[in-house]
């Protein structure tokens, strides 16, 4: 008996330890990301969730039915499991057919048949929806879309055989193969663009690439979908938001999860966008707000794997060249109304001006030094306590805020104010927000964090918030800085009943909209200054590139981010000229300045000093010249901006957008077109010349020196400013006399400058702020 009891006690203890350890392991799984302990606002790698042995896997197998009139069909899925395999020194996992052991077996299908649909939208766009449940969700208004997508079936011809159904328009086709089920995209000439992968695409002895599938998790029976498409040799992928890595995403794994990456030097993003386009002539918009990981040939060079946390797929596919694709995409998710003219001027800021006296002194210095400028921004220090947002000017440092705003407006200055949507326990509104239930909740109905996070799915929260902003805007504030917004709780319940899984990425869009709506309601102007974004945020300009390091690396990441965001449907973008983190070295500041003034919106901001007079008179004079360059070009900039709002194109655009037929244009990542006529090549390092690729077949004229260059690679010397500015042959560029602010510009004094080499006439755009009409002009 003693021996039995001695054995029993340790055995029982061992059992308890094992259970405890397993439970801890499960908890750790829920709190890790790609096997690494999860940190708040770290991007989420969804791909790892598709490698779990406890999951049940379902693979798209065959078409059961498809009504081509309604577009509704049924797809059969084959049940499989993931099992380990050893081959000498290689251990892998393989999927194998699975016979369901679900109980009762009469209640669950081994190989379920589930709904899907094919819905043409217009002649370039087709929508594919696939469900992983027999329950068809109710149609709800999407904050990402502008209205309900049109029914474009009449613009497509539908034909069928015993093996497939083909939808075709004058721009391309979509073929639905019956068995094995496959979607194939081709262009108008019949060239294969991409297709979903099947098991038969795998070589029997090489890497197994799981095809189009969804998983049912062992942890909670939730489902997530994984579309898998072919990726062709030399295919290039662009988009996915304000990404700071190489513009070409082929070979990369990209996490579409809103984060605060602490600057534009790493893989995470303030502004991930679930949209991309291919060099082969197609694009895709994943209409979801759930986290997505896009594996563009990273784990297997021949496959694009879209790991989606969402339980269903809602995919818009576009046919066309990059400009066509951007126009189609932005027609769905919306384009911005034109921002006010003054917003294109110089924004002057630092972190931070603390008083009315500082603001007035900066305005005085700008005018004394004749630096064209339109906006003075007060960052985190205009409250009684720095960073403690209470929507009130500090009474001991702002004698008469309304008079200050009025006086500055008379001098041609608009004022922008910083704020954020988080409230610490020491904030005066902390308890009020809790009492009024205006915050995001955790599963217990309490605070997910120690801070209150405003819940923008709650109409009462929006009302409360907009009332606070309205008092400032009515006082004379012109713009609100929409900072942060990346940290919306993931493990949380929102007022609309949705979890953070679907609301985290939408938070910036709802936040952007709330501020833009109240500003437009009071001032009639479409302007904010925001850091975070998601699909749909492009309707609410403008967004800046975040907290760049004051280094060449920060400069490079900033340029890439701006170009990538433009390739993701955003017309307007800005950056902190010189970087944000520390005082900018003068040499870097000199190189960054002309670039900063040759984007749609221009702001100096960051650790003090940012103001040019603190660098000396010579630098102040140089700063003035850079600002004057933009103000002279304001008619060109304004007209190009107007066209962008009408077409969904970016002001700062990668060369491939203007020159898709030029293979070299797809390779260049440190130059850009500023509108359709000017090519800009910033100086990323200290030098007097650089290699510049000039795309197309026409000649190019150096804006600064007048020298003429042929297309292709050229080694070009900088002009008086350390930047290369080239004008396309046949361009007519409108200029205006320099003014100290945009409201003083004399639009009846526009002068056209023609740039002609081989072309016989020059073409240009003009749009007068007085009427807002875009005109295309040809000047002999």
Candidate list 242, 295, 374, 486, residue with the active-site label: 486
Q: What share of the chain is helix, strand, coil (3-state, %, to 5)?
A: 25, 30, 45
Token pair 């070589």 in the structure block, residue: 203
Q: How far apart are CA 274 and CA 239, in angstroms?
A: 8
3-state secondary structure of 236: coil
- To the query of whether residue 483 is one of the catalytic residues in this protein, the response is yes
Residues 155 and 123 sit within 8 Å (Cβ to Cβ) = yes
Of 483, 576, 658, 670, catalytic: 483
CB 362 within 8 A of CB 353: yes
CA 213 to each of CA 62, 79, 197: distance values in angstroms, whole numbers, following the listed order:
12, 10, 10
DSSP code per residue over 446-505? S-SSSSEEB-TTSHHHHHHHHHHHHHHHHHT--EEEE-------SS-B-TTS-BHHHHTT
CA triple 246-249-255, angle to 5 deg:
100
- Give the H or E element holding residue 34: none
Report the DSSP beta bridge partners of residue 36.
Answer: 33
Residue 775's contacts (CB-CB under 8 Å, 6 or more residues apart) are: 765, 766, 767
Neighbours of 91 (CB within 10 A): 9
C-alpha closest to that of 531 among 608, 457, 420: 420
Active-site residue identified among 547, 658, 670, 729: 547
80 as an active site residue: the answer is no
H/E stretch holding 621: helix 617-632
Q: Look at the alpha carbons of 15, 21, 25, 26 in this order and tell me if their dihedral is positive or negative.
A: positive
- What is the distance in angstroms between the CA of the first residue and the CA of the last residue of the chain? 111
Residue 408, SS3? Answer: helix
Question: What DSSP assignment string belongs to 538-567?
Answer: GGS--BB-----SSHHHHHHHHHHHHHHHT
Q: What is the DSSP letter of 136?
A: P
Annotated catalytic residue 407:
no
Tell me the three state secondary structure of residue 666. Answer: helix
Could you give the residue numbers annotated as active site? 483, 486, 547
């Amino acid at each position: 008996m003693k021996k039995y009891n001695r054995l029993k006690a340790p055995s029982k203890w061992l059992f308890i330890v094992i259970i405890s350890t397993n439970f801890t392991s499960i908890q750790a799984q829920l709190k890790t990301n790609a096997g690494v302990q999860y940190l708040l606002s770290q991007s989420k790698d969804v791909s790892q969730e598709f490698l779990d042995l406890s999951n049940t896997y379902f693979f798209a197998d065959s078409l059961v039915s498809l009504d081509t009139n309604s577009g509704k069909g049924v797809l059969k899925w084959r049940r499989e499991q993931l099992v380990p395999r050893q081959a000498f020194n290689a251990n892998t996992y393989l999927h194998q057919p699975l016979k369901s052991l679900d109980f009762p077996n009469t209640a669950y299908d081994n190989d379920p048949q589930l709904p899907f649909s094919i819905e043409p939208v217009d002649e370039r766009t087709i929508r594919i929806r696939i469900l992983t449940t027999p329950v068809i969700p109710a149609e709800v208004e999407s904050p990402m879309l502008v209205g309900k997508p049109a029914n474009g079936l009449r613009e497509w011809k539908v034909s069928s055989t015993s093996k497939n159904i083909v939808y075709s328009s004058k721009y391309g086709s979509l073929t639905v193969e019956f068995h094995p089920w496959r979607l194939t995209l081709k262009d108008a000439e019949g060239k294969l663009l991409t297709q979903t992968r099947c098991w038969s695409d795998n070589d029997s002895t090489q890497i197994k690439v799981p095809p189009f599938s969804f998983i049912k998790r062992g942890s909670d029976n939730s489902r997530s979908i994984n579309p898998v498409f072919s990726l062709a040799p030399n295919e290039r992928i662009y988009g996915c938001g304000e990404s700071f890595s190489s513009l070409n995403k082929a070979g990369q794994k990209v996490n579409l999860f809103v984060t605060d990456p602490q600057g534009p030097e790493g893989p995470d993003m303030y502004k991930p966008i679930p949209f991309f386009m291919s060099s082969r002539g197609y694009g895709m918009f994943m209409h979801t707000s759930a986290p997505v990981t896009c594996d563009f040939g990273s784990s297997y060079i021949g496959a694009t794997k879209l790991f989606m946390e969402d339980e269903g797929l809602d995919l818009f596919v576009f046919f066309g060249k990059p400009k066509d694709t951007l126009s189609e995409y932005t027609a769905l998710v919306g384009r911005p109304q034109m921002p006010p003219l003054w917003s294109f001027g110089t924004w002057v800021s630092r972190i931070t001006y603390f008083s009315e006296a500082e603001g007035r002194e900066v305005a005085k210095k700008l005018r004394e030094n004749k630096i064209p400028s339109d906006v003075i921004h007060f960052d985190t220090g205009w409250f009684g306590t720095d960073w403690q947002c209470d929507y009130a000017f500090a009474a001991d440092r702002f004698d008469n805020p309304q008079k200050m705003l009025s006086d500055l407006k008379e001098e041609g200055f608009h004022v922008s104010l910083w704020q954020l949507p988080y409230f610490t326990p020491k904030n005066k509104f902390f308890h009020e927000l809790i009492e009024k239930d205006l915050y995001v909740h955790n599963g217990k109905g309490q605070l997910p964090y120690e801070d209150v996070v405003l819940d923008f799915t709650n109409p009462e929260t929006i009302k409360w918030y907009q009332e606070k902003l309205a008092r400032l805007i009515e006082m004379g504030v012109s713009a609100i800085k929409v900072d942060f917004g990346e940290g919306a709780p993931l493990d949380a319940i929102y007022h609309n009943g949705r979890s953070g899984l679907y609301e985290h990425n939408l938070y910036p869009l709802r936040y952007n909209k709330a501020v833009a709506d109240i500003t437009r309601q009071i001032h009639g102007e479409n302007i904010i200054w925001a850091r975070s974004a998601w699909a749909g945020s492009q309707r609410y300009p403008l967004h800046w590139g975040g907290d760049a390091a004051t280094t060449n690396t920060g400069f490079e990441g900033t340029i890439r981010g701006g170009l990538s965001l433009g390739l993701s449907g955003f017309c307007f973008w800005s950056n902190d000229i010189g970087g944000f983190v520390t005082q900018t070295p003068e040499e870097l500041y000199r190189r960054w300045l002309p670039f900063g003034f040759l984007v749609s919106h221009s702001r100096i901001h960051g650790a003090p000093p940012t103001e040019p007079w603190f660098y000396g008179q010579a630098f102040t004079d140089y700063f003035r010249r850079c600002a004057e360059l933009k103000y002279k070009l304001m008619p060109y900039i304004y007209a190009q901006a107007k066209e962008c709002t009408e077409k969904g194109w970016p002001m700062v655009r990668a060369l491939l957008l203007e020159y898709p037929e030029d293979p070299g244009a797809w390779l260049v990542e440190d130059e850009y077109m500023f509108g359709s006529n000017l090519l800009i090549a910033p100086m990323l390092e200290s030098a007097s010349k650089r290699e510049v690729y000039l795309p197309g077949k026409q000649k190019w004229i150096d804006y600064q020196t007048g020298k003429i260059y042929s297309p292709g690679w050229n080694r070009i010397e900088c002009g008086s400013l350390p930047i290369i500015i080239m004008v396309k042959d046949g361009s007519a560029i409108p200029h205006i006399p320099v003014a100290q602010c945009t409201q003083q510009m004399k639009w009846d004094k526009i002068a056209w400058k023609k740039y002609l080499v081989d072309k016989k006439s020059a073409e240009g755009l003009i749009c007068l702020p007085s009427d807002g009409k875009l005109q295309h002009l040809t000047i002999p």
